[in-house]
Amino acid sequence: MFNVQTYDNIPAERLQWVSREKFSIGPEVSRPDAILLRSHDLHDAPIPATLLAVGRAGSGVNNIPIEALSKRGIPVFNAPGANANAVKELTIAALFLASRNIVAAAGFVRSLQGDDATVQKLVEKEKGQFGGFELAGRKLGVVGLGAIGVQVANTAIQLGMRVYGFDPLLTVEHALHLSPSVTSVGSLDDLLTEVDFLTLHIPLDNDTRRLIDGRRLSRLNDGAVLINFSRAGVVEEAAVCAALQSGKLHAYVTDFATRTILDQPRAIVLPHLGASTAEAESNCVNSVVESVVDFLENGEIRNSVNFPKVTLPRSGGTRLAIANENAPGVVSRISSALAAAELNIENLSNKSRDDYAFTLVDLNADIGPETLQLIRSTKGVLSARLIPKSAGFFE
């Protein structure tokens, strides 16, 4: 039986396909083998001694202490692309909200007092202050051409916009999905000088923190619109406020509320709603739970953000799942320890990613506690566990 602790109200009805005979799942579960969460911040929480995996039912993982977990040999999984359509749709809505001044205009009408005749008179008298502009022919810059950015760029092309994209780490998979009408730009600064709208679809990390600062905002066309459904921290908040006040920015649309941004009249601030559709929530939970369950039952790794993809078809015997440092000699020390215990390796898969590696070893016989302990204490091994024969996880 595996214990899976959930945060962020991950609904049990979305997990009905997981066998309750093998998995105890819920917010009250203690001594977790796995944690499932959305935006809950794990940074200041102690890592439970029992923890084997963390599953993020979404895309961004800046709420998870990835490095500390990696050092303990604990994979973190996310759900790549599972909420991309939801965020794309809200981003497209943001383009319209800003260009047609929809939020301010709706607020104005809602505030009107009086009978029909009075309201109609006031509407016609004042509507000019909410006049907007059209998207067709305008220039949109997309920073980050990942799961979301590619969809935003392609949809904006269909709206008649001229789209420029910047992503220094663009993957082949995402490049293949990008419309050929999107102009790829080699530097962020060059992209900024082109555009009327800028939308950010990047993770928050040490390289992207305050990426959009005062200097970069000054390169945008006057009256530009900035859309941020990435994370609050990817923009320099004070610079955004200054740009809104000077008119450099016509609007700032975000789903990350802070007091300072809320106090800006031309900021359009939503709750953190980018991924909050029934479809995205379901896609995210299904995707990440599938990865976590496969890892717990078979030691396989798919969609991890800190360990490599490792798969190995089960040959029926006992399996060792080992997280290790990506350093010379670790795998040979593991095989020596197994040979010393007179265990034969039937199948082995070892994959590395940056500083870390993961090794799956299928054995011809059961492994004793002393040998397992020996492997756990082998230099370079971060975690090791024994996975007995498995019958799969569907009921």
Ligand X SMILES: O=C(O)[C@H](O)COP(=O)(O)O
- Among 75, 80, 144, 274, indicate the residue that binds ligand X (CB under 6 A): 274
Phi, psi of 383 (to 5 degrees): -160, 150
Contact pattern from residue 14 through residue 33 relative to ligand NAD, giving x for each residue in contact according to CB under 6 A and a dash for the rest: --------------------
Residue 148 within binding range of ligand NAD, rule CB under 6 A: yes
Q: Where does the chain have alpha helices with state H? A: 66-71, 84-99, 102-110, 116-126, 147-158, 172-177, 188-192, 214-218, 237-246, 259-262, 278-298, 330-340, 369-376
CA distance 163 to 195: 9
48 touches ligand NAD (CB under 6 A): no
Q: Work out whether 276 is an interface residue with ligand X (CB under 6 A).
A: yes
Task: By CB under 6 A, name the one of 25, 32, 38, 201 that touches ligand X.
Answer: 38
Please identify, using beta-carbon distances, which residue of 64 and 74 lies nearer to ligand X: 64
> CB-based burial of residue 316 (10 Å sphere; 0-12 exposed, 13-18 middle, 19+ buried)?
exposed
Do the beta carbons of residue 348 and residue 295 sit within 8 Å? no
When asked if residue 58 is in the footprint of ligand X (CB under 6 A), the reply is: yes
For residues 126 and 119, is the Cβ–Cβ distance under 8 A?
no
User: Is 150 within 8 Å of 167 (Cβ atoms)?
Assistant: no
Applying CB under 6 A, the span of 16-24, 94-102, 260-268, 269-277 interacting with ligand NAD comes to: 269-277
Q: Does 59 bind ligand X (CB under 6 A)?
A: yes
User: Under the criterion CB under 6 A, does residue 5 sit at the interface with ligand X?
Assistant: no
The label of the residue with tokens 């600064």 reads: 189
Which of 83/254 has CB closer to ligand X? 83
DSSP string, 45-57: SPPPTT--EEEES
Pairwise CA distance, residues 374 & 365, whole Å: 17
Partner from ligand NAD, ligand X, none binding residue 213, C-beta < 5-8 Å depending on class: none
Closest contact distance (angstroms) between CB of 65 and ligand X is 16
Binding region for ligand NAD (CB under 6 A):
58-60, 80, 83-84, 87, 143-149, 166-170, 174, 201-204, 207-208, 211, 229-231, 255, 272, 274-275
Binding region for ligand X (CB under 6 A):
38-39, 58-60, 83, 272, 274-276
